[in-house]
Structure 1
Amino acid sequence: MTTFTSVRNLNRHVLEHMRITNPVKTIYSLLKMVVSTNLGVNVMGKKLEDIFNYLQISDLIATSGQPTESQIAAIKEAGYQVLINLAPLEKFETTLPNEAAFVESLGMEYVHIPVIWNKPTLEDFDRFAQVMQANSDRPVFVHCAGNFRVSAFMYLYRRIYQNIDEEEAQKDLHKLWVPDDTWQRLMKEVMGNG
């Protein structure tokens, strides 16, 4: 599949199935990410704030969509010690095929928890929560393809493990999107309301 075709199909999926808070910005950033990854032309920038759907959660936690290699280097330079990837490796053309080796070559710990977009499970969240708890005193950077899986998991983690009130946790979640029915079901199940 060509880059153009995959972006067009992803854009169609985004517009048909997701309520993204700022769809124009999201699609524009996604297009820049695809160009950077596939053509080797850095149009994304190298600062943390330039990473697709970057969101600083706390002093120890930040999240985003798929970073480029130069952005992963910036993540390391910013002091993050653990990088968690929730995206399946083969899902998008923006995926870095050697991400684990690259992250580890920088001296960071790499954890991959492949969460299937339309089939997130309680087990996926439990594994994520275990990794977050084991690293609660270390700077952790969490990403997936677009920061949608991550934002839903982070909402749940903050509510359950950090006792953040619903309004504050939801504010960060809704900066990026309003979860669809699949993700709402998982969130209710995890919170004990499903």
Structure 2
Amino acid sequence: MTERTGDPSDLRNWQRRSDGVTTSGRLEPGDPARLAAIGVRHVVNLALADHPEALPDEEAAFAAQGIGYTHIPVPFDAPTRDHVAALRKTLDEVDGPVHVHCIMNWRVTAFFYLLDREAGVPEEVALARMTAVWNPLASDDPRAEPWKALLSP
């Protein structure tokens, strides 16, 4: 992962991917302006809007900064390949730098692991990108079970 000067690297589990997409966990009220300042033109949120750590009125906060917004609510206990396809479709359709987030950046990194593999990224590279944030494949936490199933071939 490559950081640039001005990146808000203090965001929870911040990453800048080599393809220019940025990712993170939860966002706070000042973060839409910070993301606008580094050139983000579209935000994709994979978290549920009713999560206790969700940014209230997130879409309006980004609209106020001139940033497009897509919400793909992914229940942490029930991620599906349809959710991944929705992210892929959104990334294919939007212009400009994109920021994708959830609460911990776990949903996001798992989805990008799958998208990277579809794109032909070597397994060890895709896995390293995901495990820099979390590794559901090696977790004994029961909450990781639906993610293990999703990530399995």
Identify the TM-score tier after normalising by the shorter chain: 0.7 to 0.9
Counterpart contact for 1:84–1:111, Cα < 8 Å: yes
Mapping 1:108-147, distance limit 5 Å: 108-135=67-94, 138-147=96-105
User: Is 2:127 aligned against 1:181?
Assistant: no
SS at match of 1:156: helix
Deviation for aligned residue 1:58: 2.2
Deviation for aligned residue 1:156: 0.9
- Which entry has the higher C-alpha Rg, 1 or 2? 1
TM-score under structure 1 length normalisation: 0.69
Counterpart contact for 1:65–1:146, Cα < 8 Å: yes
Which stretches of structure 1, 4 residues or longer, exceed 6 Å deviation after superposition?
A: none
Counterpart contact for 1:113–1:128, Cα < 8 Å: yes
Deviation for aligned residue 1:138: 2.3
User: Is 2:13 aligned against 1:53?
Assistant: yes
Mapping 1:10-29, distance limit 5 Å: none
1:139, 1:155 → 2: CA distance? 19
More helix per residue: 1 or 2? Answer: 1
Q: In the comparison of the two structures, how many residue pairs are matched?
A: 141
1:153 alignment partner in structure 2: 111
1:55, 1:168 → 2: CA distance? 15
SS at match of 1:76: helix
Give unpaired runs (5+ residues) of structure 2: 1-5, 137-143
1:118-172 Cα distance to aligned partner (Å, 9 max, x none): 001121111111111223x6211000011000010011112213x2111111111
2:43 alignment partner in structure 1: 83
1:63 alignment partner in structure 2: 23
